[in-house]
Amino acid sequence: MKNLVAIFFLLFSSLVLAQKPCEIDANVNDSLGTYKSTKQQLIFERSFAGKSNSIYFSLSNTNGVLTVEVQFLQKSNEFIKANCLDAGSKIHLQLNNGKIVTLLHTGNDTCGTLLRDDKNNNNRIMSGTFLFAKENFEDLKTSPVTFMRIKYSGETIDYPFKTKLISELNHSTTEPEKYFIDYLKCIEN
């Protein structure tokens, strides 16, 4: 019996310690309401032949409304084609359990900003806010995301998620598949 209790305690302790800590970027509570946001985390990166494409997520809760803030960064020494977000833009997340969760774009229409750096490379930066739909929202807390499809204003692009992503550009390590499992709890309250 003592061994059973010890095993249970050890298993429970490892589960509690294995949870990711919440990294809160902003936590505001004033007369206008509440706003809470997690730090940005790299979700997708592709770097090939002098071109790179990175996508970052952060979660936010504004007066009880949960959203995903998405930042797109593209770099190239050639011209960068714009992928724009409009009222019809969506993010579809395919979960490991086979379900699909859809996020709806709620911000203004945007094609981002094109900037040149000191090495004469093109950089396109674009941000968008996506709202969680009520259906299948709970599944994000328990099932990993395996695939993301973004419907831009002119085309749809697919992005496979990795279990472990080691960035070639900034050498950080993230776990995109478990992003919502690890961080949704940080902004729900």
Is 150 exposed, middle or buried, given 0-12, 13-18 or 19+ CB atoms closer than 10 A?
A: buried
Q: How far is CA 185 from CA 33, 54, 140, 189, in A?
A: 20, 25, 11, 8
Predicted confidence (pLDDT) at residue 14 exceeds the cutoff of 50: no
d(CA 81, CA 95): 29
Residue 1 has pLDDT above 80, yes or no: no
Question: Could you say which DSSP state residue 178 is in?
Answer: G
pTM confidence score: 0.85
Q: Are 144 and 182 in contact, with CB atoms under 8 Å apart? A: no
Task: Tell me the per-residue pLDDT of 87-138, one tens digit each, with 9 for 90 and over.
Answer: 999 999 999 999 999 999 998 999 999 998 888 889 999 999 999 877 677 8
Q: Say if residue 44's pLDDT is above 80.
A: yes
